[in-house]
Amino acid sequence: MHYTCVLKRQKNEWYIGHTNDLKRRVMEHQKEWKCELVYYEAYQTQKTARERERKLKHYGSAWRALKKRIMA
């Protein structure tokens, strides 16, 4: 499986990324930035996970819609 994930830092900063090992990636970010996993989506291919990451990073409407769901 491949994942698109959203992590939140303490200062209300957000990280959006993709990985094939969600647990490892979250642990890496927790050590470095004290992040917490707030949302993830699972995909069968790396390509689709990467496309979703790109949409969230580059298309404001996609990120605003997701952020609204996360914050609710």
Measure Cα distances from 20 to 12, 13, 59, 61, 65 in Å.
25, 23, 23, 26, 24
Q: What is the pTM of this model?
A: 0.89
Specify the CATH number for the domain of residue 25.
Answer: 3.40.1440.10
Count up the domains in the chain and report the number: 1
pLDDT score for 53: 97
In tens digits, the chain (72 residues) has pLDDT values of 999 999 998 888 999 999 999 999 999 988 888 899 999 999 999 999 999 999 999 988 999 999 999 987
pLDDT score for 33: 85
